[in-house]
């Protein structure tokens, strides 16, 4: 594609960002403003103009899914040679490459499950932790490491930290020390250690650092508001004395400070790089004017970025509903979704968002009773399903022995051999789920370029499997607000908006409350056409009446 063609259909701000190729660039990209389109066009434009060498560009993300999406977009622009990695995968690749050279042995392997080791260690010291407590404790370990605190440094501040998993500060320290010792004994590292060890290696081995500086020169960092001090130190090591860095982020969507992330690096980018080109993307192409104006009420006190402006139609006003009980709320939710489906809205364009995983059970029961198919984000992984694994093996085999059949026909033949047919099964359960997974696999062929071969398809599946870039299932999505970040749907229901859930009970300080407010903002801006908020006075697990979330009053004084 010609260089100037890459700038077509970009708005003035997107074009300005895409043409900023030399030196530091900061793109303040609000929700729904086309940041991925802008970033991929910028990279492709820089390559087409000869400013970037494709093999020296490293685009960094925080999730495998985001990396997969970015990689797919770049491939469509014929710049597939660009490296797109998460911070962890980039660090692990360097660790595995350099460790044998300098240590003389293979790099230590990464723990598959931090929670499993914590559970084993807790049992050994007679501490009982349930699944929720294990998650919380693992999160505290991650916060400590991302914040670059040694165990001694952590011990000095542990009493000021929120209580973790119901443990006293002394028990917290005992368990963390036991976890570190067990990890060393097993000759394993966790994902945070991968970053720590890579950073230490680059700082202590000039040859390794010089190699990395030779390999990568141009950096792009997505979701820069979520970077932690540890990741930032590693990024600085990769950059060296250069400043060819493009960061993209939105301070209004900072929702991961509990993991050590901070938006201070994004907000201070102009101070660190006085010559930086700072571009604001504020034209929202996702949501209606009513939804954007509604969500903007939660960010009115933010003076760093301008409010979003919708480029869409006026649309319907967001609805706010209250119910006597959670059962009533979920029953009404199911009825509303059923109506939307009957009116022709695709199930994949509907989402139900909530604050914590525990809120989903009542929603799942209501949807099941109404006969509505749903998927829970974070449930069974697509590429772990047995029929998908069988299909991928067959695709790889046919890629080695090419066929004259068109790609769609060849893949559909494989799917048919596993029980797929053109008509969706009427019965629910495992047969329907198997059909849907095979149908989703087949649909991936439509996303490839015309003339794609079975070898191309096999490569695409390998990359998607490695990056956990899963296809969208034809079902209503249930998701926590955190897991919904980066996604969008036409119709969104945000449920369970009561004090204790949002803001969450343990959010006490002004900083924590503001983060909960930003979390709701993220939830609202996932909606394209229709948005409904709801709360119930009586919680399913308590006889105590709940109060509506304080943020509802901010959105509408009538609540």
Of the listed ranges 18-27, 145-154, 378-387, the least confidently predicted one is 378-387
| CA pair distance 516, 104, nearest whole angstrom | 47
Q: Six-digit token pair at 146?
A: 């991302």
Of the CA atoms within 13 Å of residue 310, those in its CB half-sphere come to 19
Model confidence pLDDT, tens digit, residues 297-320 = 999 887 788 999 999 999 999 999
- Looking at residue 543, its pLDDT comes to 61
Of the listed ranges 26-40, 44-58, 154-168, the least confidently predicted one is 154-168
Provide the sign of the torsion angle of the four alpha carbons 125, 128, 131, 137, taken in this order. Answer: negative
Which has the closest alpha carbon to 109: 190, 196, 172? 190
Which has the closest alpha carbon to 425: 414, 410, 438? 438
Model confidence pLDDT, tens digit, residues 151-188 = 999 999 999 888 888 889 999 999 999 999 999 999 89
Give the orientation angle of helix 206-215 with respect to helix 87-103, to 10 degrees: 140
Q: Which residue has the higher pLDDT, 60 or 167?
A: 60
Cβ distance 34 to 14 under 8 Å? Answer: yes
Q: Six-digit token pair at 518?
A: 């930003």
Taking residues 441-462, what's their average pLDDT?
82
- Looking at residue 559, its pLDDT comes to 41
Taking residues 355-369, what's their average pLDDT?
90
pLDDT at position 231 over 70: yes
- Looking at residue 467, its pLDDT comes to 58
**Burial class of residue 82, CB neighbours in 10 A (0-12, 13-18, 19+):** buried
DSSP secondary structure, 403-422, as one string? -SS-HHHHHHHHHHHTT--S
CATH class entry, domain 283-372+471-558: alpha beta
Where in the chain is CATH 3.40.50.300? Answer: 1-89+193-280, 283-372+471-558
Q: Residue 558: which residues within 8 A CB-CB, separation 6 or more?
A: none
| CA pair distance 272, 275, nearest whole angstrom | 9
pLDDT at position 536 over 90: yes
What are the beta bridge partners of residue 535? 322
Q: 375 falls in which pLDDT band (50, 70, 90)?
A: confident
| CA pair distance 475, 177, nearest whole angstrom | 44
Taking residues 342-364, what's their average pLDDT?
93
pLDDT at position 475 over 90: no
Of the listed ranges 126-130, 413-417, 479-483, the least confidently predicted one is 126-130
- Secondary element (H or E) of residue 94: helix 87-103
| CA pair distance 66, 400, nearest whole angstrom | 30
pLDDT at position 58 over 50: yes
Q: In 147-263, which residue ranges form alpha helices assigned H by DSSP?
A: 151-157, 169-185, 191-204, 206-215, 229-239
Task: Report the mean per-residue pLDDT for the chain.
Answer: 90
Q: What fold, for 1-89+193-280?
A: Rossmann fold (3.40.50)
Cβ distance 524 to 295 under 8 Å? Answer: yes
| CA pair distance 440, 448, nearest whole angstrom | 14
Could you count the other beta carbons within 10 Å of the beta carbon of residue 174?
16
Taking residues 485-506, what's their average pLDDT?
93
Which has the closest alpha carbon to 142: 63, 230, 202, 66? 230
Q: Six-digit token pair at 416?
A: 């048919």
CATH 1.10.3470 given to domain 111-188: no
Which has the closest alpha carbon to 188: 105, 85, 114, 87? 114
Q: 460 falls in which pLDDT band (50, 70, 90)?
A: confident
Where in the chain is CATH 1.10.10? Answer: 111-188
Taking residues 244-272, what's their average pLDDT?
91
Most distant CA atoms of the chain, gap in Å? 68
Q: 558 falls in which pLDDT band (50, 70, 90)?
A: low
Model confidence pLDDT, tens digit, residues 266-304 = 999 999 999 999 999 999 999 999 999 999 999 988 778
Q: Six-digit token pair at 55?
A: 């093999």
C-alpha torsion 29→34→37→41, nearest 10: -60
Of the CA atoms within 13 Å of residue 267, those in its CB half-sphere come to 13
- Looking at residue 527, its pLDDT comes to 97
| CA pair distance 326, 332, nearest whole angstrom | 10
Out of 10-24, 125-139, 405-419, the most confident range is 10-24
Could you count the other beta carbons within 10 Å of the beta carbon of residue 336?
18
């Amino acid at each position: 594609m010609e260089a100037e063609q890459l700038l077509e259909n970009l708005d003035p701000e997107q074009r300005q960002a895409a043409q900023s190729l030399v030196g530091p660039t900061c793109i303040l990209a609000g929700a729904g403003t086309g940041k991925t389109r802008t970033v991929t066009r910028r990279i492709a434009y820089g390559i087409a103009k000869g400013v970037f060498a494709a093999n020296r560009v490293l685009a960094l993300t925080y999730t495998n899914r985001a990396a997969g999406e970015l990689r797919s977009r770049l491939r469509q622009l014929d710049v597939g040679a660009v490296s797109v990695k998460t911070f962890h995968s980039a660090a692990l690749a360097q660790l595995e490459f350099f460790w044998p050279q300098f240590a003389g042995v293979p790099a230590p392997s990464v723990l598959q499950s931090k929670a499993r080791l914590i559970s084993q260690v807790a049992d050994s010291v007679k501490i009982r932790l349930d699944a929720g407590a294990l998650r919380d404790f693992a999160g505290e370990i991650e916060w400590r490491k991302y914040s670059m605190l040694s165990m001694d440094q952590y011990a000095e501040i542990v009493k000021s930290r929120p209580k973790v998993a119901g443990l006293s500060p002394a028990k917290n320290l005992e368990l963390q020390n036991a976890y570190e010792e067990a990890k060393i004994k097993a000759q394993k590292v966790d994902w945070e250690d991968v970053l720590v060890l890579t950073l230490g290696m680059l700082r202590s081995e000039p040859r390794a650092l010089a190699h990395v500086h030779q390999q990568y020169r141009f950096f792009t960092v997505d979701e820069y508001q979520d970077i932690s001090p540890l990741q930032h130190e590693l990024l600085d090591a990769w950059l060296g004395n250069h400043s060819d860095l493009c960061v993209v982020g939105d301070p209004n969507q900072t929702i991961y400070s509990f993991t050590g992330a901070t938006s201070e690096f994004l907000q201070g980018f102009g101070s660190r790089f006085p010559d930086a080109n700072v571009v604001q993307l504020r034209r929202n192409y996702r949501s209606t004017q009513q939804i954007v104006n509604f969500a903007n009420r939660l960010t009115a006190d933010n003076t760093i970025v301008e409010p979003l402006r919708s480029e869409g139609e006026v649309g319907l006003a967001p609805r706010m509903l209250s119910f006597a009980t959670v059962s009533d709320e979920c029953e009404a939710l199911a009825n509303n979704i059923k109506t939307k489906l009957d009116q022709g809205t695709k199930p994949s364009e509907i989402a139900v968002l909530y604050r914590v995983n525990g809120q989903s059970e009542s929603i799942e029961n209501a949807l099941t009773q109404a006969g509505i198919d749903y998927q829970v984000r974070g449930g069974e992984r697509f590429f772990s399903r047995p029929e998908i694994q069988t299909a991928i093996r067959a695709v790889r085999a046919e890629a080695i022995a090419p066929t004259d059949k068109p790609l769609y026909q060849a893949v559909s033949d494989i799917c048919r051999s596993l029980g797929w047919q053109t008509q969706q099964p009427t019965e629910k359960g495992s047969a329907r789920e198997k059909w849907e997974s095979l149908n989703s696999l087949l649909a991936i062929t439509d996303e490839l370029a015309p003339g794609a071969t079975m070898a191309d398809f096999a490569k695409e599946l390998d990359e998607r499997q490695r990056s956990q870039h899963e296809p969208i299932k034809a079902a209503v999505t249930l998701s926590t607000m955190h897991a919904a970040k980066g996604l969008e749907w036409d119709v969104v229901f945000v449920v369970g908006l009561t004090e204790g859930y949002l803001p969450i009970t343990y959010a006490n300080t002004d900083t924590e409350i503001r983060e909960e407010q930003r979390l709701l903002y993220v939830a609202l801006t996932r909606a394209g056409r229709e948005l409904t908020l709801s709360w119930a006075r009586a919680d399913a697990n308590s006889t105590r009446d709940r109060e509506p979330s304080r943020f509802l009053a901010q959105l509408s004084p009538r609540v």
